[in-house]
Structure 1
Amino acid sequence: MVAPNQQSISIAIIGGGPGGLGTAIALSALPFVSVTLYEQAPEPREVGAGLSIGRNAWNVLNLLGAAERVRGGKLGTSWQRNGRTGEVVHTDASHATPAEEKKDEAKQEEEDPRFASIRARRTRLQAALLDKVPDGTIQFGKKLAEIWDLGEGKGVKLRFQDGMETTADFVVGADGIRSIVRRTIFPDHHLHVTGNTAFRVLIPLSSIAHVKDFPAENGWWHGLNGHIYFAPVDDDSEIQDKDESQLFEITVRSYNEPISPDRTATWAVPIMNEKVLARTAEYEARIQSVLRAVPEGSWREFAMVAGPCLAEITAWDKVALIGDASHPLSGAFGSGAAFAMEDGWILARALEREYSRNGNGSLSMAAKATAIRNALRIFQVIRGPYYERMYDFLASREKHSQGTRKEDDVDFGSIIKARVAGLGFVAGGKMDWIYKNDIEQVWKEYVAGEQVARL
């Protein structure tokens, strides 16, 4: 227990998405901190379409105690198809040897089936995390306007758009790809519109039952200037009413949208079906039938923005960026929620470790500042290189895929095969450093390495 006269470390988390909520859960478990999460929405809000929950996400959700309530559609085999013909170009097992297939089957039997990879409604994850955040932690209707560094040992001042001001010893910027925290501490870092746009919707699976021979499963259909992703986002246990339909996700990616400054504000904007259909005319008849089944007004448009790799994801010895705020990659790996929750869990472990080095006694102002500074250095050492590796991977993939959007004299089927080969999912295990990342093991290895270095 904390001594009654002990000064706690005050922490302000900006943003109530999965990363901010996961960070609030992890940090609130430390008895020597006081955590407040500031969310701009006026009330608890569970928004969004679908997201992937793989082994990396299950690992950190278990650590946060939030895994049990997260359910979704089992992903199973992942398919890559030619969008014009429906031809299967690649599946997860396409290049596995018989020995590798047998090994994978044995491993799957050993793993807990509850934690198989799923595609879930974002609302499921949000609700599971909200349930674990201690009461009174979140203040709603608080959109950050400005932050200031008050100087060495004096914390950070925050001002919100409603005029409220407060201070904190430590600030966590979990405010997404358009982060105000990042913009303040790194004013020379700029986002750019990529030209890629996502159109997203969830529809009842029953509404496309009439489309003959359409594989209503996890998979990508590739066109010349885009792709379409399909996935179920519910499992049977989530459907209580026999008249309630399981939901099915559709995401249309268009690679060549007009680039203009106002596109940076295009996020979750309702659009008419006509706009989506105009960008998907090249796809085969089954896809056309599925897209025409979407109720008018259901689509939401998301203009993709991105920014260069940050050499530092901490600042002022008292601010940390997590999730999309720290690596604005515009959802390039489809695992952003897991990355952000991993960040928050590592921050908690680093702060806990540095606090223990002060003998778990009452923290003076100087001791608090030292603990925070050293914890942020640990966070930078562990998570900084991880995100740099992602940027390096994307750069190599982009180089590989140059020319795969130009038909000219090249056969369309060959273009799609080349693109799929460059996605990074073809070679078995190539992406395990992301999708099977065990953040608890990462922490243990850091601690062990630190202990060896001190010998």
Structure 2
Amino acid sequence: MVGRTLTSVAIIGGGPGGLGSAIALSQLPCLRVTLYEKNSEPREAGAGISLSTNAWRVLDLLEASDGVWGGSKSNTHQRNAYTGKILSITQHPENSAVDQRGSIRARRARLQSALLAKVPEGVIQFNKKLVSLESLPGEGVRLVFHDQTEVAADIVIGADGIHSWLDQVVRRALFSDHQLHFTGNTAWRVLIPKSRLAHLPEITSTTAWWWGKVGHVYFSDVDDGRDKDPQFEITIRSYHEPEVVGKTVGWGIPATNQRVASRVETFDQRVRDAVSVVAEGEWREFAGFAGPRLDNITGWDKVALIGDASHPLFGAFGSGATFAMEDGWILARAIERTQFASQPAQKALEIFNLIRAPYYTRMYEHLDEVHEKLQQLQAEKEDFNHFLQAKVNHFLYADKDFIYKNDIRKVWEDYLSTE
């Protein structure tokens, strides 16, 4: 693309990764950026989202951090789901030392609104569900949408997250043999007024994980003192749900109270009481899919996968939105660098892959190590209390600074210093 005065970039998906990419790329000259979102309006499925130091750093770079706030996670408890016994309390002092904003749990919709406010007018096109893309001879990609419209772009960014897991349009075009599978892990999520839980102060006073044998429950504030009607998050996970062919693809579908309550019927009474205040029709179900790691997260020399589209881990680290925003910011820096040097877009994607693919490989390696150690513990046939305490002590708090303290600006500066 050397010599062209205008490079067209198509972003597929309007989640945090797509919006962050649109913000970062729209600041560059000689780019025509368009974000294609399948929904008819901005829409965020889910409940809360965790944001740590790595998130604040990239949000600062996108100038969107002022629009984000939530409940503090500075006091996080790990509990036995059956007895309520507190196994560990974490004060997150490492976050305050680096960034006074600390680690928070925020409404997903609030993060989306903060990012939307920074996307230039006219960049987003709604009602654009991608159905196929094709590499054009020489340069460019043809994209075909559900409404039968077609466009051509020089660079395509697959930022469709969970929809990429299910529809797999972008990734399937690049890697046709890459298959996803249902993990058996299913989550039910809801945000409710905190006032409904006023009779359960032990539930609402901290962020807490209540761990069971085949699932867990997560409680957290998602608002702070500035909200007149603060919301509270309840998330229930089950680890061994059966797959129903053709139906186990739900992402944000309604779930009945009976279905959800049955997953915690042996848990502590306080957990069951909290679950019981949720009104019928409020729960949303999210089925977990995962797939093998990708050695490369680019293809055709003109398509990049970011966020969940490139590493389907189903929330293994609770930082997927941040990963996606980091991806988009690095890709923008790579394109800026190659534009300045009058290099082709292919070089920008090579730089992006060189920086980000090893980062995701490291995450997979960490998960492999934890999984192996947990299997060893289970093979020792220790009782549940011993297993749970070991899990909390040795695995939940294993060193993950490379994730939660990641400084994406420094990552880019380190690349430049060694280029």
Q: Distance in 2 between matches of 1:264 and 1:383?
A: 31
**Displacement of 1:393:** 0.6
Aligned to 1:330, which of 305, 311, 314? 314
**Displacement of 1:183:** 1.3
Partner of 2:82: 84
Q: Does 1:416 align with 2:388?
A: yes
**Displacement of 1:282:** 1.6
* Letter paired with 2:320: G
Partner of 2:123: 137
Task: Decide whether the 8 Å contact of 1:173 with 1:322 is kept in 2.
Answer: yes
* Letter paired with 1:443: W
Listed as ranges, the matches of 1:184-333 within 5 Å are 184-211=173-200, 213-239=202-228, 245-333=229-317
Give the TM-score of the pair, scaled to structure 2: 0.94
The alignment partner of 1:297 has SS state of: coil
Q: Distance in 1 between matches of 2:82 and 2:31?
A: 56
Task: Decide whether the 8 Å contact of 2:14 with 2:159 is kept in 1.
Answer: yes
Task: Decide whether the 8 Å contact of 2:189 with 2:236 is kept in 1.
Answer: yes
- Cα offsets for 1:47-67 (capped at 9, x unmatched): 421001111010000000100
Aligned to 1:440, which of 406, 409, 414? 409
Q: Distance in 1 between matches of 2:213 and 2:289?
A: 21
Aligned to 1:384, which of 357, 365, 371? 357
C-alpha RMSD of matched pairs (Å): 1.9
The alignment partner of 1:418 has SS state of: helix
Partner of 1:97: none
Listed as ranges, the matches of 1:110-129 within 5 Å are 111-113=98-100, 115-129=101-115
The alignment partner of 1:236 has SS state of: coil
Aligned to 1:24, which of 18, 22, 25? 22
The alignment partner of 1:423 has SS state of: helix
Partner of 2:73: 75
The alignment partner of 1:279 has SS state of: helix
The alignment partner of 1:349 has SS state of: helix
Q: Does 1:158 align with 2:130?
A: no
* Letter paired with 1:288: R
Judging changes above 3 Å, is the alpha-carbon distance between structure 1 residues 269 and 12 closer, same or farther for their aligned structure 2 residues? same
Runs of 4+ in structure 1 deviating by more than 4 angstroms, as ranges, are 403-406
Larger CA deviation: 385-394 vs 274-283: 274-283
Give the TM-score of the pair, scaled to structure 1: 0.87
- Cα offsets for 1:95-132 (capped at 9, x unmatched): xxxxxx9xx48x83x6553x221100001000000000
Larger CA deviation: 340-349 vs 115-124: 115-124
* Letter paired with 1:223: G
* Letter paired with 1:119: R
Task: Decide whether the 8 Å contact of 2:291 with 2:313 is kept in 1.
Answer: yes
Q: Distance in 2 between matches of 1:213 and 1:55?
A: 27
The alignment partner of 2:216 has SS state of: strand
Task: Decide whether the 8 Å contact of 2:45 with 2:252 is kept in 1.
Answer: no
* Letter paired with 2:145: F
Larger CA deviation: 203-212 vs 12-21: 203-212
Task: Decide whether the 8 Å contact of 1:424 with 1:431 is kept in 2.
Answer: no
Judging changes above 3 Å, is the alpha-carbon distance between structure 1 residues 47 and 255 closer, same or farther for their aligned structure 2 residues? closer
Partner of 1:361: none
Judging changes above 3 Å, is the alpha-carbon distance between structure 1 residues 409 and 355 closer, same or farther for their aligned structure 2 residues? closer
**Displacement of 1:405:** 6.8
The alignment partner of 1:220 has SS state of: strand
Judging changes above 3 Å, is the alpha-carbon distance between structure 1 residues 212 and 28 closer, same or farther for their aligned structure 2 residues? closer
Partner of 1:367: none
Q: Which consecutive unaligned segments of at least 5 residues does structure 2 have?
A: none
Judging changes above 3 Å, is the alpha-carbon distance between structure 1 residues 232 and 79 closer, same or farther for their aligned structure 2 residues? same
- Cα offsets for 1:254-273 (capped at 9, x unmatched): 01100233244211110111
Q: Distance in 1 between matches of 2:271 and 2:375?
A: 26
Task: Decide whether the 8 Å contact of 2:194 with 2:204 is kept in 1.
Answer: no
Partner of 1:58: 56
Larger CA deviation: 42-51 vs 208-217: 208-217
Task: Give identity over the alignment, percent.
Answer: 52
Larger CA deviation: 261-270 vs 82-91: 261-270
Task: Decide whether the 8 Å contact of 1:231 with 1:249 is kept in 2.
Answer: yes
The alignment partner of 1:413 has SS state of: helix
Listed as ranges, the matches of 1:385-400 within 5 Å are 385-400=358-373
Q: How many pairs are equivalent?
A: 413
Q: Distance in 2 between matches of 1:338 and 1:409?
A: 37
Task: Decide whether the 8 Å contact of 1:46 with 1:127 is kept in 2.
Answer: no
**Displacement of 1:424:** 3.7
* Letter paired with 2:137: G
Q: Distance in 1 between matches of 2:88 and 2:189?
A: 24
Q: Distance in 2 between matches of 1:92 and 1:213?
A: 16
Q: Distance in 2 between matches of 1:166 and 1:77?
A: 50
- Cα offsets for 1:252-299 (capped at 9, x unmatched): 010110023324421111011111111111211111111111111111
